Structures are given as structure tokens and as C-alpha cells.
Structure 1
């Protein structure tokens, strides 16, 4: 209900200057609250967030002002939820959009209200929240039972759908899934700001190996999942690193989802962020079958953090970290075997890619039975940054009705079920292991199959309602 005071304040506002000043103040304040944690990395990052996000976040209310001038406050307010969600949907793919402030993410912890995401995606959650604000505003202004009933009905709609999916008929969301795979998350805790020298490399390897070895000996998982860029070296280009990895996986007899960085151009500091599922079968047969690296299916991170990994609109220009992520575009699905010879299908995705709803839907449509998310969240310390990203991960799980195994260096590493419930969480900035069963799902949600359908429906409804309201206003003016 946070928008209610603002919506009330613009009821009789006719000056665009005063209106714009209100929105700029509100959004400037919001952005500082939403992104102050970026200053943990670099103080200038807060200013970059403010300047890069302010204009297009304010776009919805700028358009709303001119609609209100044409058709009046009440009718324009009815259209606001449609407009809000459409602007979020249209601006989401923009290269400079940090996406953390999308309205729907505020409902990530409201498990009994956010299950509509499996039908509408994030855009439906944003629509629902803004419409609730509009109905509450009307209830205050008009003080009629009609709007009180509509507000209650709007709450009941989301609650009823969520309660049905979670308590009454979970099979309608996830099918008859009952197969599980045992997964171990390996959370390291190495200071991301330390120079990448031999001491840091040794510390990193020691943590990875000791934790992985402990997980294999004590938990017997089907797969180990390591954080993003586990190895800051090119796995297949560094012969000693590759031999060590191959021998370790062969000895463990356990598949490992491992990430690594690969420099493409030293002079320009171009690099690729890669990951793969390295199976014991591949490790054991590598030499006898004379396997070469180019024959191995590897996933390449497609989307990087704007300004830090990529420079928006300037793909050949270094980011503020003085590097350029060269992105891939193939949604690989990896297979691995359990000790009982069951075949499991997992999609790997890396860090900031979780903020792209269509990206995750594409992975699930490609055959993923669950998602392994490999993160590097340690840059921002114990700030809201990691919690924001965890909320985003929850919505991706609900949208696609897929379990997510979320592994991060420093945390927050955890498991998320297809209904957005977190379990098996490791305390952040603690080197540790979490081993749990992960439910495999093959049923695809409506959103997964049609990720843009709800947005298209909103667009059609918006155009029809706007035309009808404009015609009504024109008729009233003529009379």
C-alpha cells in the first residue's frame, strides 16, 4: 500500500512541473534506499544507479500525468496498473536496467499471495500490487462499500489461487513429480577484494577441495554445485588445474557443476564466464577416448551486471571494473547420473542472469528438471544486495515451477522449492556444505510456455480501456 499517499497527492495536480518534482523526489529517495549497497563496491556506483535508473523508472508516472490530463484522475488511476506492468515489461531488456526495483519482487516472501506468477510471471505480480494500491486509494476517497469489497476480493483472488496451488492441489502446479536428486552446495568464503595471487588461489582451492571431499564422504550426493567462477583460471587451458580437477572428480565418482573464467583478449581484458557439469564418466574416459575441450558442452554466461561486467550500449568499451564480458547465447541442459544410474537434467545459470525472466523460462523450456544457480555475491558484504537477489531467485522458481539449487561464494546459498520456499540455507560468509534432496519437475507452467502472454493481454486491455475512457471523456466534453 506504499503508493497510496502518492496517488492521493496527485488527485488535483495540474502542473506538470510540480507533478514531476514529486515523482523525482520519490524515486530519488527510493533508488538510494534500493541501491545504497552498491557503494560497498565503489562509492560512485550509487550515483551511477541513480542516474541510470531514474529516468526510465519515472517514465510510467510521466505517461500517467498526460493520460490523467485527458481522461481524469479516476479513469487514469484504473489504467495505472496496466501501464506500470507494461513499462516494466518493455524496459526490462534494456541493457542499463538493473531490474532490482521491479514492483513484483516486493512479494517474494508472500508465499500465499505470489503463486499467480506461474501464470502471469513477474508482470502479473506488479499488476496485482499496483491494482491493490489503486483500490485502496479509491476506498479512501469514495468511502463506499463497493471499493472495500473490490479490495477484499482482489486480496482473496491472489490468496485463493496461492492456497489452492500450495495446499489443495500442488499437482496442478508440478504434476506428479516425485523423483529427487541429492545435491550438495559448496559455499566458499574468500574475500573478493583480495588480490588474485598465489596465496588467494591456494586458499580458494583448499576450501573447494576440503568441502567437496567432505560432502562426498559424508553425504554421498549425486552432484556438487560450486559458486560462480569457482576457478579464476581457464579450466581447459591450465593443464595442472585440469588434471587436478579430472583426477578429483574421478576419485569422488560424483558429478560437479563447476565455473571458471577464460580470458579471450589480454590487452582488452575480454573474458568469458563459463560453467559445465563435469561428470566422473567424462573424467575417467577423457584420456582413453582422446576427448578434446572443443568437444565438451560448456555453458557461457549471457548477461552480466550492467556497468560492472558490461558497459550498456557500448559492448566494446570496458566496464567500471575495466573488463568486458563476452556473452554466450546457448541454453545448454546438462545430464548426469546418480549412483542408481538415474539420469537427471539440470540447467546452469550464472548470477545476474537470474534477473532475466525470459532467460530462465528458455532454460526450462529446453528440458531442465531443476535449475542450478551459481553466484558471486560476496562483493557487497552483509548488505541487502544478496537478499534482493535471493528474492529474485524465488520468483523465478515460482514462475517456472522448478526447484533452484542456489550456490554462492559468501552466500546466500540455499535450496528453493517450486513454490518459492527456502530450505537448507547456509549462513552467509561461512565456508560450509548444505546437502538436500531436490525435486525434479517436468511439467511446464503456463508462464514457462508463454512468458509474454500476460503482457500482451495487458497491452490489448490497456488500449481498449484507454480508447473507451477517452471516448467517454470526449462525449462528456461535447455535452
Structure 2
């Protein structure tokens, strides 16, 4: 039995990995990747083992660990520079924490299955799973990269209805088809269930064909409203490991300016530079930026382009004489506090400067998870060379407005995988999305490809163009259907331009956010309370 369980667990993990972006032409495997896992759960449920809960948890963990680790192996590349002693435990977040939460959902299914019919238990499993996904995008250890609905990013033509459901609609779709196929397999054991099996086969066909047909219809019928704006995206190709100390900040900005001039037009509205494009080891004081040589350098470049804005990443800081933020630190010997930010800034042909501080910080690298409780560990990370806990943030997105009134969403790197959060920019008036990132930390791995693929989902959910500027790649323009219209190559110094269509309409998803996830979480919570009450009642009896 043990060998069979191991086989089912490993096969499930491998199928999900093969189906995952950026692999082409294998997306359909998402519809069967969870079937071996469901068979594993049922095999254990029907066994005589007195450790069913234990087996379900750890056997399912194995499969999910394989899927997660093979899909996001590149994470280690982005954090290894802070030292192995820090990087190894931080790697635990994407490699193991997600699978542990997935296994917990399976264990809760086991507890429900003991007292409820199969069909109801399977519905509960879907709610438990979505509950895990929503938790994993909401708490301090958030890493929603492996949300099941993200799996369709490479085949965006299939999920145009994400403008109504967001990625959680995709999660439900995957689970529904897998469950139906699992039930068909189960029915094969009983000859008396022939008619029932035929109905299940029909249900599987409909469950695949109807959403797919609706999406393809929406894809081919969708027409963008004409409201053009000329945008430039720059990819300077500066090695992130040589960015500090090797090349001066002024020289880096000159490179960006030179590339921008090659494609900028008199009517260019936004010139987008990548994350931390303006970077100084000492940092840049936001309150004094107008006197900064870097700011004046950008201003001189903009002079011929009267309507243009430079939207760029910047490492900045702010001083506080009172009311310090939780992330700020006191300056030794002074009553002043300082907060450092991975930020975006909008510079235009006027004295107006707009800042946005990255909100969705990477756990362990950009912020200390549960900072107030674990703040005593800050000196440890500082000693090891890490940056943990050093960045401040803001809770709500900020829309950058040009002099002509165009609203841009400055989305910094990791933030682009948060559908509901990106939707908040749109609610506040963003007419297109500017993703600024520095995916060079991941080197030439599938991480950069997945990141760009996920940006396609934000385009569909919001029906906004996405203009992505990556330091070393990938940079691209994505239209409102999720099509990549232009894309740069990895490790290439270049700039590209595009006339995009602005949009001010709001999709159903933008208006209502992750309503499916919140509903599933409520149902999951009710079931968990029911399980706890039932356990207490049994003990009393």
C-alpha cells in the first residue's frame, strides 16, 4: 500500500509541475493533476490503518512539495546573497510552507469525510483549499505565487472570464474537473452505476467545454476602446549584483536616458524605468529630492518632452521627528527616526513629484514576518548581511497622474501577483498598469517568465494594458486581452515603445475583488467550527 501511495503522490506533483507556466501546451494537465491526489486520499480513507490522518497529511505534502519546489526552484537565487544561514530558512516559505497549508486542507477534508458523505466532503475540500490560498496571500508569510488559478497564465485565452472571477475562478474550475474525473474513476468499481457514470462523463465535458467556449467567445469578441497613449519601456540590463559600487548612479541614469531617447516621441506620455533604477547606497531623501542631482538629471532629460513623465523605481527614505512608523528605526544619538522604502516615483516637467512605497513586501527579505513579535531577530539579520525588516511600506496603492490627467498604477515587482490589490489601483483611477521589476536576481530561470505570464492575468482581470519594465528582462507590453504585443529578450539592453489604449471602465472583479475566496473562507470556517463542536460532543458522550 505504501508504494502505491508514494506513486500517486509523486505522479500528482509531477503532473501539476508539467502543467505549470511557463511550460507551453501542457496546461490541460491541470484538469487531471489532482486526480491521483484524490485517489490517494480515498485509498487511505478505505484502508485499515489507524494513522489515517498522519498518512493523508504527509503523503499529500510530498506531492505538493514536489510541485512547488520544481515550479519555484529559482527563489533561492533571489535570496542567496543575504547569506546561506538566512537564505536556507527563508526558502522554506515557498518550498515547504505552501505544501504544509495544502496538506492541512487535505487533513481537514479527512476529518470532514469521517462524518459527511463523499460529495459534501469534496465540496468542503475545495473551500478548505481556497481558504489556504487566500490565507497565503493575506498574512505576513504571504506567497500566492502557486495559487491554482495562476496555472492558466500561459493559456490566457482560456480564462477571459477572470474579469468576473479573478484567479479563484480558475482554482474552482480546476478542482471541479478533477473531482468529476475522480468520481468517474470511482464509479468504474461498481457496474450498477453505469447511468450515474454517464452523467458524470457528460458533466466533465460540460465543465470543460462551457467555460472554455465562453472564454474564447469573449476573447475574439473583445474590442478595445480607442484612447491611445504613447508609452516607452526601458530595459537597461544592469547586472543587479554589480549595481552597487561598480557603476555610479549617475552613469546608470545616463544609460536609461540614452535608451529612452532612442524611442521617445514628442507625444510620449510615460517613460517607464525598472525597479530601483535610481539607486544610491546612501539612499535618497524624499523630502529633499528636488535638490538631488539625480532628479535634476531626469528633469533635464524631460525638457524636450513637454507631456512626458518618468515613472521609475527608487530607493528612498524619510525622516520623522515624531510619530515614527512601526518599520522606522531611531538614528543613534538623535531623537529622529528614519524609514527606508523600495519605492516608485513619478517625475514630470514641473516641481510636482509623486511617491509610492511598495506595499506587498517579500517575507523574510524585505520585511520581518510578524515584525512586532519577532523584532528581536533584526540584529541577527543585520549581522548576517540581510535586509530583513528594513523596508517601510504603505497600506493602500497610490495612482500616479500625469499633467494631462492620465492615471498610472505603479506596481512594484512582487505586487503584480496580487489581483485584488492591483484592482484597487484601478478603482482609484488607474487607466493602465506599469509593472517595474528587477527579475535579474532570479537569473535566467523560469521565474522571470512566470512573472510576465502572471501579469497577463492582471490585464484580463482589470482590462488594462500592462507595461512591464524589467531591469534585465523580461519587459513587455500586454493588451487588455492578455496578449503580449511586444516583448524584449533576456539580458538585452533596449527600449521599446507602444501606443496603448487607456481604459476607464471597471470590471466586475475590480468592483468586487476576491469575493469567491472570501465566501469560500466563510464556509470553511463554519465547517471547521462544526468539526470542533462535533469533536467536543463525541468526547462528552
TM-score bracket relative to the smaller structure: 0.7 to 0.9
Distance in 1 separating the partners of 2:226 and 2:463: 14
Give the alignment of 1:50-449 within 5 angstroms: 50-143=95-188, 144-168=197-221, 170=222, 177-194=225-242, 196-197=244-245, 199-216=247-264, 221-233=268-280, 234=284, 236-237=288-289, 239-253=292-306, 254-264=308-318, 270-280=339-349, 282=350, 286=351, 296-314=353-371, 316=375, 318=378, 321-323=386-388, 324-336=390-402, 343-449=405-511
Deviation at 1:198, TM superposition (A): 5.7
SS in 2 for 1:419: coil
Deviation at 1:466, TM superposition (A): 10
Deviation at 1:381, TM superposition (A): 0.4
Deviation at 1:448, TM superposition (A): 0.4
Answer yes or no: is the 8 Å Cα contact 2:311–2:345 preserved in 1. yes
Deviation at 1:228, TM superposition (A): 0.9
SS in 1 for 2:430: coil
Answer yes or no: is the 8 Å Cα contact 1:35–1:46 preserved in 2. no
SS in 1 for 2:72: helix
* 2:16 alignment partner in structure 1: none
Report Cα offsets for 1:40-73 as digits up to 9, x if no partner.
Answer: 2315243453344343232211211111122244
SS in 2 for 1:58: helix
Structure 1 unmatched runs, 5+: 287-294, 469-479
Q: Would the alpha carbon gap of residues 461 and 214 (structure 1) be closer, same or farther in structure 2, given more than 3 Å must change?
A: same
Q: Which TM-score applies when normalising by structure 2? A: 0.76
Q: Would the alpha carbon gap of residues 467 and 73 (structure 1) be closer, same or farther in structure 2, given more than 3 Å must change?
A: farther
Answer yes or no: is the 8 Å Cα contact 2:148–2:171 preserved in 1. yes
Answer yes or no: is the 8 Å Cα contact 1:53–1:97 preserved in 2. no
Q: Would the alpha carbon gap of residues 379 and 466 (structure 1) be closer, same or farther in structure 2, given more than 3 Å must change?
A: closer
> What is the RMSD of the two structures over their aligned residues, measured on CA atoms?
2.8
SS in 2 for 1:311: coil
Distance in 1 separating the partners of 2:527 and 2:208: 23
Answer yes or no: is the 8 Å Cα contact 1:36–1:46 preserved in 2. no
Query: Is 1:12 aligned with 2:12?
Result: no
More deviation, 318-327/439-448: 318-327
Q: Would the alpha carbon gap of residues 146 and 78 (structure 1) be closer, same or farther in structure 2, given more than 3 Å must change?
A: farther
Distance in 1 separating the partners of 2:166 and 2:177: 17
Q: Would the alpha carbon gap of residues 119 and 135 (structure 1) be closer, same or farther in structure 2, given more than 3 Å must change?
A: same
Answer yes or no: is the 8 Å Cα contact 1:213–1:252 preserved in 2. no
Deviation at 1:276, TM superposition (A): 2.6
Q: Would the alpha carbon gap of residues 78 and 322 (structure 1) be closer, same or farther in structure 2, given more than 3 Å must change?
A: closer
SS in 2 for 1:157: helix
Structure 2 counterpart of 1:31, from 68, 73, 86: 68
Distance in 1 separating the partners of 2:103 and 2:395: 31
Answer yes or no: is the 8 Å Cα contact 2:159–2:170 preserved in 1. yes
Report Cα offsets for 1:347-377 as digits up to 9, x if no partner.
Answer: 2111111122221111100011111111111
Deviation at 1:396, TM superposition (A): 1.5
SS in 2 for 1:10: helix
Answer yes or no: is the 8 Å Cα contact 1:373–1:404 preserved in 2. yes
Answer yes or no: is the 8 Å Cα contact 1:215–1:221 preserved in 2. no
Distance in 1 separating the partners of 2:524 and 2:246: 59
Distance in 2 separating the partners of 1:210 and 1:399: 35
Number of corresponding residues: 447
Structure 2 unmatched runs, 5+: 1-31, 46-51, 189-196, 319-328, 531-541
* 1:291 alignment partner in structure 2: none
Q: Which TM-score applies when normalising by structure 1? A: 0.86
Distance in 2 separating the partners of 1:372 and 1:429: 20
Report Cα offsets for 1:91-135 as digits up to 9, x if no partner.
Answer: 320111211111011011222321221111111111111111111
Distance in 2 separating the partners of 1:459 and 1:260: 37
